[in-house]
A = this chain, B = another copy of it.
Amino acid sequence: MLTGQDAPSSSRFGPRRIREESVMLRTINPSTGALPFQSLMVADLGDVNVNLYNLQDSCRLIQEAYQKIVAAGCVPLTLGGDHTITYPILQAMAKKHGPVGLLHVDAHMDTADKALGEKIYHGAPFRRCVEEKLLDCKRVVQIGIRGSSTTVDPYRYSRNQGFRVVLAEDCWLKSLVPLMAEVRQQMGGKPMYISFDIDGLDPAYAPGTGTPEIAGLTPSQALEIIRGCQGLNVVGCDLVEVSPPYDPFGNTALLAANLLFEMLCVLPKVRVV
């Protein structure tokens, strides 16, 4: 009763499960010395009311909600959910900050044009963002890309926009500290956003996702990426595509909760001991 191969569907419960596993997190980060809860006001703003049966309408609702969040001076850390959500979030971001830099960790480019005739879906958010000039294309980095493909179009599109594309192959068995030194230079002091698709990691670490690809990043590389953003002007972050049905023991959600905690630890104004 379906065609198409990889559209994630059960990621809708991701946020709930990440919250549940986040009780394992404590307040300080001995590795980096960050004291996020002593530095910032941190609150759980609850869920955005999306329309489960209409993607366009969901995008509208998300955009409206994030405009208010951003207007209030909040730096949102978003738990997903389908990667489509980054598109309306970046609409809200760009409205306040202008085109933003993007650090995008993912197994997939997410710069396809359409699927099944639709322009709004989880494989296309960053193409939509480019079309609406939400991104500062010279400051876009995509890390962890890999896997078979039906077309090379997304690869060409990303490179044609000037994105820096770091394939998973280029990360195998390597520390990403040197890469992040370059990324920090590239981002400079201007606003940038982190969008982290959990499928950027290898399925051994993050089996709970809808479109796993083999031979991905490791959690230590993920920590190097996020910790490498310390000092940057991070205006928002998301962690998406956690799919609880494929994660019955919650280790993918726990990993996601840890990565979100690490993002919190690199936000501007977080004190370090």
Contacts and interface: CB of A to CB of B under 8 A. Distances in A.
Given A155-B30, A248-B248, A7 B211 contact: yes
A214 to B, nearest CB: 4
Contact of A173 (B115, B175, B223): B175
A211 B8 contact: yes
Contacts of A26: 4-5, 147-150
A115 to B, nearest CB: 4
A136 interface: no
Contact of A115 (B27, B52, B214): B52
A149 B5 CA distance: 11
A39 interface: no
B8 A243 contact: yes
A155 to B, nearest CB: 6
A185 interface: no
A28 B150 contact: yes
- Where chain A touches its partner, the secondary structure class is loop
Contact of A167 (B6, B9, B31, B116): B31
B2 A123 contact: yes
A183 to B, nearest CB: 19
User: How many copies altogether?
Assistant: 6
Residue of A50, A106, A223, A245 ringed by the most chain B CB atoms within 10 A? A245
B211 A122 contact: no
A118 to B, nearest CB: 4
Interface string A43-55: 0000111111111
Contacts of A203: 205, 251, 254-255
Nearest to A209: B8
Interface string A131-142: 000000000000
Interface of A: 1-16, 20, 23-31, 47-55, 57, 78-81, 83, 85, 106, 108, 110, 112, 115-118, 120-123, 146-152, 155, 167-169, 172-175, 197, 199, 202-205, 207, 209-215, 218-220, 222-223, 241, 243, 245-246, 248-249, 251, 254-255, 258, 261, 273
